[in-house]
Each structure stands twice: as structure tokens, then as C-alpha cells.
Amino acid sequence: SMKAYLVGYNSFCLVVWSLACVLALLKLWEKKDLGREALEEVWEVSGFLVQIGQTAMILEILHAAFGFVRSPLFTTSLQVCSRLWILIVASKIPETQETQACGLMVLSWSSVEIVRYSFYLSALLMTRVPYLLFWLRYSVFYILYPTGITGELGTAF
């Protein structure tokens, strides 16, 4: 069924982004440096997972196009394609991977995706999304979108 597929897709993405985030946070912890040097090494430990998670998001364009979800096709396509463009830059230009901006981008993306996919899974599996998760879904972007965009711009340019 479509619900089973969406549960599987969202679970997969949640696991991938969670692992990417945990590895990035462990790198920060290992370096005992919440800024410069550790951020420059985040892609090294999380980049492969970021590539998997972000590439999987191409399916979200299809989900919107075929009506599997209520997301608007244009907005979804724009968001996914803009991230894919940044992902290609980060993947193909090694110098961008070793920047603080790229580390910030990975931490921001993975954090926001953990909340987003947790929210989607809850909506699929529960009669009501827990309030904390609902609040996080509509609040963390105030911090994570600006940091994500800053990281994206710093990585791309």
C-alpha cells in the first residue's frame, strides 16, 4: 500500500539523516572545537550519507507529482533541485568539502530533516502528531533555515 511505502521511505530517510547528524556531532565532540577545525571535517564523516539522503529526496518530487503527498510540486521541485545543485558542488569540488560553511550546511540539513521525517512518520503512524514534534516542525526552521542557507551559499560560492 501507499502508506507502507511512505512509512518505509520516511523511515529510511530518517535513519540516513540521523546517522549523518550523529557522525557530524561526534566529529565536533572529538575535536572539542565547536567551530573552525571540526566544522571543516564534517563532510569527511557525513558526506556519503548526505549524498544518499539528498539524492533520495528526488523521490519527493515524484511523490508530489503523482499525488502521493499533498506537497506542491513546484515548491518541492525547487527545494530539492536547489539542494541537489549544492550537493553536486560539494561532491565534485573537494575544496568546498573542507570548509566551515559545508560543515554548517550538513549539520543544518541533517537536523531539519530529522525533525521533518519524524513529523511525517508520526503523521502516518499516529492519530495525532505529538505536540513537541509539531512545535519543532514549525519552529526549528527559524534557526536551521538561515544556518542552512548560510552554509549552502558558503559552500557554493
Q: Which of 95, 111, 102, 151 is nearest to 25 (CA)?
A: 111
Rounded CA separation 98/40 (Å): 5
Provide the angle, in degrees to the nearest 10, between the axes of the packed helices 73-92 and 58-65.
170
Of all helices (H) and strands (E), which one includes residue 114? helix 100-125
Catalytic residues: 145, 152
Query: Any idea what the Cα angle at residue 11 is, between residues 9 and 14, rounded to 5°?
Result: 110
